[in-house]
Chain A
């Protein structure tokens, strides 16, 4: 008995039960292998790129958080500086209002000529207008001549007078008693 005969005995020829498939469908297995290889390769590439993108994203997020933190620190420092500046401006405003009155007193006292007398000198200033010093001077003897001497002395000391008013009981007596009121301001050209 030959081998072929034996095979034929075990596996006899079977006629095709269905008609053959169209030739175009032979591409399917090829497509399968290509897509299997392609998808595995593309998948590996995608996973690698996704990991890289996630790492980049994390780095950017960390950088963003660092920038935010640093900005918060800078804003805090800015606030401290602004507060300090505000305090400094208040201190400056206050100090501008505390200009010494001694120079006015000295100018007035030194302007009094021998023989003339002052009975009182009043200086006032308000918190609202600290640059303005209201002066009221009662000249006992010396009259308007002494008043003019005093005004000249004040001008020499760098002060300007305005809103002047002179009250004299006897208008004809230039050497009599006079009450002189004025408002003094520091002359612009003598500002520090």
Chain B
């Protein structure tokens, strides 16, 4: 190989270098375009997911509006009973005190019982009382419980003829719902 051949080879190598460099840049361009297309595809997918989630949310919002309004209507009444046995007991005692002419026997309150399949209204306490007094007052008392403690449930009620003329004996068991305690605040 003489110097002329060597110069030609050198020139050819330089030309190849140019092509190689251009090819490498072209590959980088392709990679960048592919990466952009992938990112665009992911973006589109996320946008579709967002649109689906938005649709589902709108649907849920529409479908549950009546129920949620119903909850907002009753929530204060349930919160009145509170989350503890003592609050529920006090509410029932307060009602009893409004009818002093009815003589009380055996006023007891049970320990909270779990409500099956319920996580919010998850417990209830039953207050039982035996009363004796005027029939009219006893009926008024019953009506007051159902009117002023609308979330309570009279589970057992028995009216019997009393000892005197218009007197009756009333056995009553009233269940008051308790709400689940709110979770402790995160530290």
Contact = CB atoms under 8 A, between A and B. Distances in A.
- Main SS of chain B's interface residues? helix
Contact of B53 (A38, A71, A100): A71
A75 B54 CA distance: 9
B64 A74 contact: no
Contact of B19 (A39, A68, A71, A93): A39
Contact of B49 (A50, A67, A120, A128): A67
Contacts of B54: 74
For chain B, the bracket of interface size reads: 35 or more
B33 interface: yes
A187 interface: no
B60 A88 contact: no
B121 A28 contact: no
Interface residues of A, number: 69
Given A121-B158, A124-B156, A91 B78 contact: yes
B71 A87 contact: yes
Contacts of B25: 42-43, 46-47, 50
Interface in A45-101: 46-47, 49-50, 53-54, 56-57, 60-61, 63-64, 67-68, 70-71, 74-75, 77-78, 81-82, 84-95, 97-98, 100-101
A5 interface: no
B157 A123 contact: yes
Contacts of A84: 64, 68, 71
